Amino acid sequence: MTKKSPKPSICVVGACNIDLVSYVPRMPAIGETLHGTRFQIGFGGKGANQAVMAAKLGAQVSMVTKLGQDTFGEDTLKNFNSYGINTEHVHFTSEAFSGVAPIAVNPEGQNSIVIVTGANDLLTEEEIEAARPVIAQSGAVVCQLEIPLNLTLKALKVAREEGVLTIFNPAPARQELPAELYELSDIICPNESETELLTGLPVESDAQAETAAYQLLERGVKTVILTLGERGALIVDQQGARRIETQTVNAVDSTGAGDAFVGSLATFLAQGVAFDEGVMKACAIATMSVQKLGTQTSFPSADEIGNL
């Protein structure tokens, strides 16, 4: 059960990266040097993005992560503080650089991303255990796959032990995941390519997506939310399958759209919004994000979304 609160509490356990974004006329071929049209540096990492999205919607957010003792790490901490995110469990290490993500974005808004996780890999199970009080007080805990698998499992275990809603975003996707991970996930939120990798099934049509989602449900997940880009999202649970439509827009940059969806979904569900309505609102926010350049900079605030 989610905890109803006018100011929902979210805990995100995951990675922080600095996005190094190059805007290119097309994706380069192997061995090719290509002139880009523009470059920018932004804050990223799926965990950090989802935390910032929730904070921009007014949630009380705690972040559990590890940064390098470098300029990128210092700037990431400042960024969290600027959004009022609780950084009590943001750790630092001198043994690795902060994570980075070089990103190429083409004129259609499609992206190609390389992630070098760095300090994110050095977060420990003991540090996650130390965050148990924060996790226990949350309305939802959000995890991904940008940190080592054992750490994601640890965070989900602590949340389940404390009776907190668990939301698992299996990204970047891996072909094989332990059964326990599915069983610890109240909600799993993969996109199309992640679903195909996890299940080995195509998701090009609604019928195919539904078949793949049911396979994930059979692995022990309580609810599957398969995000389908401009086609919206598909919800599959014990009550059946239903698709949530979203508005068709001209996307300029899809980077971070999935994180906008997950961060906003966690916020709405922790606030006590009805499930399907929360998914619909999260779809709308993700759609808003692809109409602006950048990652966290493209996420709308509570004031910008109005009443949706």
**How far is 141 from 307, CA to CA, in rounded Å?**
25
Q: What is the CATH number of the domain that holds 207?
A: 3.40.1190.20
Share of the chain above pLDDT 90, in %: 81
pLDDT reported for residue 71: 96
Could you read off the pLDDT of 18-61 as tens digits, one per residue?
989 899 999 999 999 999 999 989 999 999 999 999 999 999 99
Confidence class for position 254, pLDDT limits 50, 70, 90: confident
pLDDT at 4 exceeding the cut of 70: no
In order of 102, 232, 305, the CA distances from 249 in angstroms are 26, 12, 16
Catalytic residue chosen out of the listed positions 19, 259, 276, 303? 259
Could you tell me if residue 179 is inside a domain? yes
pLDDT reported for residue 138: 97
Q: Decide if 259 is catalytic.
A: yes
Number of alpha carbons in the 13 Å side-chain half-sphere of residue 70? 15
Confidence class for position 161, pLDDT limits 50, 70, 90: very high
**How far is 5 from 36, CA to CA, in rounded Å?**
46
Q: Is 69 exposed, middle or buried (0-12, 13-18, 19+ CB in 10 A)?
A: middle
Could you read off the pLDDT of 196-244 as tens digits, one per residue?
999 999 999 999 999 999 999 999 999 999 999 888 999 999 999 999 9
Mapped onto helix, strand or coil, the DSSP state of residue 145 is coil
Could you tell me if residue 108 is inside a domain? no
Lowest mean pLDDT across 4-13, 108-117, 282-291: 4-13
pLDDT reported for residue 246: 82
pLDDT reported for residue 86: 98
Give the pair of three-digit tokens for residue 181: 């991970």
pLDDT at 247 exceeding the cut of 80: no
Cβ-count burial 31-56 (b if 16+ within 10 Å, e if not): eeeeeeeeeeebbbbbbbbbbbbbbb
pLDDT reported for residue 3: 41
**Domain housing 202:** 9-16+45-97+117-305
Could you tell me if residue 35 is inside a domain? no
Confidence class for position 103, pLDDT limits 50, 70, 90: confident
Average pLDDT of the chain is: 93
Give the pair of three-digit tokens for residue 84: 């009022």
pLDDT at 93 exceeding the cut of 50: yes
Could you tell me if residue 112 is inside a domain? no
pLDDT reported for residue 101: 86
Total structural domains within the chain: 1
Could you tell me if residue 132 is inside a domain? yes
Lowest mean pLDDT across 129-138, 256-265, 284-293: 284-293
In order of 93, 120, 169, 245, the CA distances from 149 in angstroms are 20, 12, 12, 32
pLDDT reported for residue 282: 95
Confidence class for position 6, pLDDT limits 50, 70, 90: low
Could you tell me if residue 1 is inside a domain? no
Q: What is the pTM of this model?
A: 0.91
pLDDT reported for residue 5: 45
Give the pair of three-digit tokens for residue 247: 């508005």
